[in-house]
Copies of this chain bind each other. A is one copy, B any other.
């Protein structure tokens, strides 16, 4: 039913070797033969078997992309950018969502080792997750090229890393809130690099770190809502919040608004990531932009290079992308 190279060769009256050579545009075959083989292949609608090609070429023309979940605009946008880049070299993407579970990641690493993909991009996993760094390092050393995006690598020589300056982002956000007159500034998220930027900023501005104003939760809308509800019960509330991501910010705003507290009139809120919806939310979210598209493209391009067997210039082993404060309407001057 499915046409194979043998069929083409038979009909063209040549050996499969010649047929293969012709179809791969070898200069060795006679013009006349070349023409005939191509014509027959076209007529029969011959499509080379990718599985056989993969075996002999030791490459599948696919890459693996590890992200925690798809239903998160940050990863969706990153994925899109990576896909747009690698498709130029005809690479396809195998989607590997871990649901924030280390064990899932391990399964995917083993799948990668089996030779299903020619390279892999690992994105961040949430800060509370157990890291599989040694396993990934083994993967990168002995199997396929690997690139990290927004995730720390134990060895930049082997696993290049593309990061955004989240610490500085949180610093900028906090600084802006301080400039707006806020002193009671909280942080919403998980323990992370971002929190460190927040911490540095307030201490530098002689504001004491108040553990009461630090709220841990899932980095989702639901997590934000949970934090918002907790805030409603508080006697003394912070006047401003820096959130780990835009989803949490939206959740917090939703819960607060529902409880009769206005944003930004009563409380200023800053998100992180600048996901698409944040610009169209009510109120439009002040947030920290992370150059997802740029980073995704860079990660894709670096992986393409590595898969092509090229060495990476030292300057590209660790790339830190600047983040940027985007001022919209979820923040306002402190009114007292």
Closest to A251 in B: B280
The answer on a CB contact under 8 Å between A95 and B93 is: yes
Confirm or deny: A71 has a beta carbon within 8 angstroms of a beta carbon on chain B.
Answer: yes
The 0/1 profile, CB within 8 Å of B marked 1, for residues 281-300 of chain A is 11100000000000000000
Residues of B near A156 (CB, < 8 A) are none
Give the size category of A's interface with B.
35 or more
In the bound assembly, the distance between CA atoms of A282 and B225 in angstroms comes to 14
Is there a chain B Cβ closer than 8 Å to A257's Cβ? yes
- Please measure, in the bound complex, the distance between the C-alpha atom of A51 and the C-alpha atom of B79, giving whole angstroms: 25
Chain B residue nearest to A69 (CB atoms) is: B80
User: Does A181 reach chain B (CB closer than 8 Å)?
Assistant: no
Other-chain contact of A73, B48, B71, B110, B113 (Cβ < 8 Å): B71
Distance in angstroms from A277 CB to nearest chain B CB is: 6
A114 and B282 within 8 A (CB)? no
- Distance to closest chain B CB from A112 (angstroms): 9
Contact between A114 and B49 (Cβ–Cβ < 8 Å)? yes
Would you call A76 an interface residue if the criterion is a C-beta within 8 Å of the partner chain's C-beta atoms?
yes
Q: Is the CB of A80 within 8 A of B73?
A: no
Q: Output the nearest chain B residue to A277 by Cβ-Cβ distance.
A: B277
**Does any Cβ of B come within 8 Å of A115's Cβ?**
yes
Looking at chain A's contact residues, is the secondary structure mostly helix, strand, loop, or mixed? helix
Give the residue name and chain of the B residue nearest to A108 (CB).
B92
Query: A71 and B62: CB pair below 8 A?
Result: no
| Residue A97 CB within 8 A of the other chain | yes
Expressed in whole angstroms, the Cα–Cα distance for A257 and B329 within the complex equals: 13
- Structural contact, A94 and B62, CB atoms closer than 8 A: yes
Contacts of A113 in B (CB 8 A): 47
Q: Is A143 an interface residue (CB 8 A)?
A: yes
* Interface residues as binary, A42-76 with B (CB distance below 8 Å gives 1, 0 otherwise): 00000111111011001010100000011111001
Question: B72, B110, B282: which contacts A282 (Cβ < 8 A)?
Answer: B282
Closest CB-CB distance, A52 to chain B, in whole Å?
6
Q: Known A71-B73, A282-B257; judge A47-B80 contact (CB<8 A).
A: no
Cβ 8 A contact of A96, one of B48, B54, B79, B92 = B92
CA distance A111 to B48 in the complex (A): 10
Which residue on chain B has the smallest CB distance to residue A1? Answer: B142
- CB within 8 A of A77: which of B54, B71, B92? B71
Distance of A54 Cα from B62 Cα, bound (Å): 14
Known: A50-B116, A225-B280; 13 extra A-B contacts, CB below 8 A, are A47-B113, A47-B114, A48-B114, A51-B58, A51-B116, A54-B55, A71-B77, A76-B76, A83-B95, A92-B94, A92-B96, A95-B95, A281-B282
Task: Using CB atoms and an 8 Å cutoff, list the residues of chain A in contact with chain B.
Answer: 1-2, 47-52, 54-55, 58, 60, 62, 69-73, 76-77, 79-80, 83, 92-97, 110-111, 113-116, 142-143, 221, 225, 250-251, 253-254, 257, 276-277, 280-283
* 8 A-B contacts (beta carbon < 8 Å): A47-B114, A51-B51, A55-B55, A62-B116, A71-B276, A72-B76, A83-B97, A92-B94
